[in-house]
Structure 1
């Protein structure tokens, strides 16, 4: 099992030098009927259109947050800022306002010349505002450089073969330089497969990200004059969010081409995209041949495989949002013990999921915190599509529930998944659901707090990838 330790500090902004609003949206602190009505209207739109609206709000300079397709206070305020007294501040765009926003955003993207490219020198994929950075050249180290005409903005892309370690480069990047006393680090994050460092000098800002893989180290850095922050900060968000150090497929369409207007109409249409052939999820062993997962992870599946073995639906439980799958063939599996206590408010948790690693599904550990969505249990965690059904463990390594929500949108801020709230079937709901199928989980014995690595070591063999054939 590949273990990725994601520190709880991920809830802090990775782009620490950007405004505090450059974070994923959090649920509203208190019910707001007007916001709830606007949210319902927004969520009735196709997902691609929801994301396009938020992307356009970013380019219009009104929304400094992750493009998620989910509606929250930041989107509500951004839309009302766009309306600017020219109508009821209800957080809803009329067709005419949507068309005006699309036109303004398209103009901003075209003005920047933002385009996703595959850089032949470094092998990475990254978005470049080509009109802002028109000067392009090779660097002496074999990388690529884009620069503004006046030299006040510079983006460097670098790559190196296997040899130098991520840790050693991170140490150099964060060392205090006595020859540059005005330089200070404002944020730093080191993980097993990448690091992020941001900072300031007396007159400028900088952002650096470096990732490691079988092909070596690949990364980029952006430096710019502080006086340009108002216009460049949003470009940094777009560039960092587009970065793929080791791309495995063709480049997706640029945001500018994702939406077009119908001739003679102010309503946008979504261009068709190729339908996926697979969807992913996570399963938890609850008996020698039965696995529990989120019902949302297997809806509409023509075929199912769990841990490489054929599987079939045994039962769905609407009350909990869970599904039980029978596995065919292979040896018997080992179920885990479950705790009996309810999740405590803000209790620290560990989730075990699967994510994409160079085109393969690899296991990883994620940090979480117990929260509530209304009267229902939830977890605040950095989940991504394909991680519905992820089991949740307390710090003693006892099973505390399963994620039943299905993240439908890939969100990365500077390559890091932000934390958001997801519905969970807690231990009691899980026990009630499997009891209907004549099954039960043993009670887990309480003990001392364990490290994340020790928890994963204990539970790893009982957490399996789910592949849904569409």
Structure 2
């Protein structure tokens, strides 16, 4: 992009005054002494000013005026259409503007470097199509909690153990591996040096910082990209390996994976409160015939109204900040079918989650769906669920293979974390059945017993905020 040259302007002010003194004289014979005359008042001539031309706003200036979330979204979409290969950080830059101009050129539009509403819509649609083609999603590693962006359709084969997970295509042309290990005294420099030596790799790009490293190059007939990080003697490394024939597909995928990768999500400093949507969809579990509904606290927080399609509005009457549960009440509702929540025992690993996905994920419908998930203990108090269910499943009912109530789903909202301000994906957690029962008991709600149909006992909740 040509640099914008600001032309200098000089404003010269000129003023002139002619001073004249008129002397009145009498005839010489009768000449009287001259009286002192007051000096004439000097009036400056009007000054003509030259208007200064306003500074022209550059495309980078326009980008800076946007919300950071929008810049992040634009950079991500440009990366998906193979026009932006920088860090998706939300920084307004010449690289971002150049990518926008390239997109405009490809579509026969004027290369302004600023997307109009129509161009933004086209870019978003093209990026979404490419994401759908590869099955893009965010997953959490079951053993470490690391968050990884994954082209799930390209790598359907999965092998996992305590040391990490490997995803690969059916032919082995694409391989993605996340590994974790303990290594006393490990630094990014020592780990990067070790990765370079493996499998006769030839690195043509290398960045080693105190907190992370990046390597890329060739390994035989394949291309590789490696991103690693160390913390407290623990090493976590993401390796992407693909045949050169798949480079056109994998370059934008690799850029997106690099930006989405978060090896230590629990230790990243949060830079601000989670962003709140004006309209947020979630799932509620019917707890009693008289309208008691168990819901996710954060999904129903700050709502002007909580609409329950088919039943009117609900009122939030209690919450539990420790377990992030909320109790709603639909007054005057009839025909509600509570979910049987009685029972005891440890949580089994294989669960079925019954909920109602965000309407955007199901073509505007209000369908109840059931998805499988694996429950994995994560620390003393948390249990993670993988794969993560769709938006809208926060508050969904979790049942084990025997149909017993196992708890409620909680989707932790995305946060803006780290110095680069990169949004992190949500994380699916399980609020165990005992915690749900204790919450209801404390609020005077008796849990239902006997057989029940989970699909008939969940409702869509629509939170409308200011």
Query: TM-score by structure 1 length?
Result: 0.43
Query: TM-score by structure 2 length?
Result: 0.43
Higher-RCO chain (CA-CA 8 Å, sequence separation at least 6): 1
